[in-house]
Amino acid sequence: MRVVVAGGSGFLGSHLCEALLRRGDSVCCLDDFSSGPAANTDPLLPLTGFDRIPCDVTARFQVPGDVDAVVHLASPASPYDYRRHPLRTLAAGSRGTENLLELALRHHARFVLASTSEIYGDPQVHPQDEDYWGHVNPVGPRSVYDEAKRFAEALTTAYRRAEGADAGIVRIFNTYGPRMRAHDGRVVSTFVRQALAGEPLTVFGDGGQTRSFCYVDDLVEGLMAMLDSDLPGPFNLGNPNERTVRELAELVLRITGSNAELRRQPLPVDDPVRRRPVIARARAALGWTPRVPLEDGLRRTVAWFATRSYESDTCGALSE
């Protein structure tokens, strides 16, 4: 296939581009490099079958040649990014989603929307399966990301029903691994960066809130399984092994050998207390299940971070 990966230079997108190329697909990466550095896909530029088009998917863009599939990963995804750039985040979920759906429709191509566990908000049902409608504050500080993805799901579903688009949705839970930006505000990258620097680890609240962490290689396999299907979803993609934030901090300290302390900070507004996916549907329909244990994935992630210089990992400037 020739696959268009929007947001292909980002953390997830760059891993997906590599995996698609390894199996013999050709890839057209679309990215404005606002939250995914060009360096993530620079090594792919000499490879046969890889193209990269700098563009903003919320504006006009063109993809020459055939298109067999489109994967929409183009959005600010870290708390640091979407709180700084709320209008760009909303545009990525609305105009960006529609532009990419129209691209897929013109080429009779498969379309996969990368949605998020954030559509469940601070859930009142635990664990979360795909039938849960969520508990989201539409005007809270996280709303621009939550509601952008919820709208993107509605739009994708409408295109499937009204236009016959071959469109599907996956809901991605916390994912980690090499190429995360050290200063993106996510808990794994923050803990690893702080531990390697010998700084106190910032723990919000009492650290008893839970997350479920999926290694990036496992997540990419789920994306590719969805890409190869014709199913609508939505399917949860995540590791159902639930850990507290405090447990994660202690594990990072043990792996890095750091003696750093834990520094408590107030829990952010609307921060989810518990988060764990039910993945029975993805297992049954896609044959997908995560395989990498958290400790193994963290060791790979720490090893990657230890080789990097990350005093500044900011990407291109965004304007509202």
Q: Rounded to an integer, what distance in angstroms lies between the CA atom of residue 193 and that of residue 188?
A: 9
DSSP E strand stretches across 157-290: 167-172, 175-176, 201-204, 210-212, 214-215, 235-237, 242-244, 262-265
* Catalytic site includes residue 145: yes
List of E strands, the chain:
2-6, 26-31, 50-54, 69-72, 110-116, 167-172, 175-176, 201-204, 210-212, 214-215, 235-237, 242-244, 262-265
CA distances from 91 to 37, 82, 167 (A): 20, 11, 20
Q: What is the dihedral of CA 20, 22, 25, 26, to 10 degrees?
A: 90
Residue 72 has phi, psi (to 5 degrees) of -100, 100
* The one catalytic residue among 82, 120, 145, 176: 145
Question: Please, are residues 246 and 208 in contact by the beta-carbon 8 Å criterion?
Answer: yes
Q: What tokens were used for 35?
A: 């939250």
Distance between CA 88 and CA 90 in Å, rounded? Answer: 5
* Contact predicate 279/240, CB 8 Å: yes
Q: Positive or negative, the Cα torsion across 300, 302, 308, 311?
A: positive
Residues labelled catalytic: 145
